[in-house]
Amino acid sequence: MNTQMINVQAPDSILFPQPGVGKVERTITPTKPGRVKFKATYWPARLCDHDSQVTLVPDDQVTVLGRHGITLLVVPAGYISPGNSPEDEPGVEEASESQSLGFTQKLSSVFAKLWR
């Protein structure tokens, strides 16, 4: 009998360059993944922030931040959004460095929670 060792690694989490918008199709809780429609396709999805006490129900909008394997990593719409920052107000040309850094730090903290 020929046996070989296969090195299998868990998939890495990947942060998308631009967050996207999805729609919940199957309920998602902090302990139970669900399903999201994203870019005209249905995907398994889980909350990016395991510490949150939120439950996402069908038809809720979510922000898709990235993926872990084929599972999308989501947060409730508006939870993390560059659109909530002052630089997106009319008349403001560019984000200040500190505002951009704030968004990046918040996003990084969400991903750090994945590995607890």
pLDDT tens per residue, range 76-102: 998 864 544 333 434 334 444 444 445
In the predicted structure, residue 114 carries a pLDDT above the cut 80: no
From residue 31, alpha-carbon distances to 1, 41, 51, 87 in Å are: 41, 23, 10, 35
In a domain, 42, yes or no: yes
3-state class (DSSP) for residue 115: helix
Q: Cα separation of 111 and 55, whole Å?
A: 19
**CATH at 23:** 2.40.50.140
pTM of the entire predicted model: 0.65
Q: What is the pLDDT of residue 54?
A: 94
| Domain count along the chain | 1
Q: List CB contacts of 114: < 8 A, sequence separation 6 or more.
A: 13, 48, 50, 68, 73
pLDDT of residue 37: 98
Q: Whole domain around residue 110: which residue ranges?
A: 13-82+95-115
Domain for residue 88, yes or no?
A: no
What is the per-residue burial (b if ≥16 Cβ within 10 Å, else e) of 33-58? Answer: bbbbebeeeebbbbbbbeebeeebee
Q: What are phi and psi of 74, to 5 degrees?
A: -125, 160
pLDDT at 27 over 90: yes
Q: State residue 106's pLDDT score.
A: 59
CA-to-CA distance for 116 and 113, rounded, in angstroms? 5
Is the pLDDT confidence value at 2 over 50? yes
**Which tokens go with 16?**
């998308």
- 36 within domain boundaries: yes
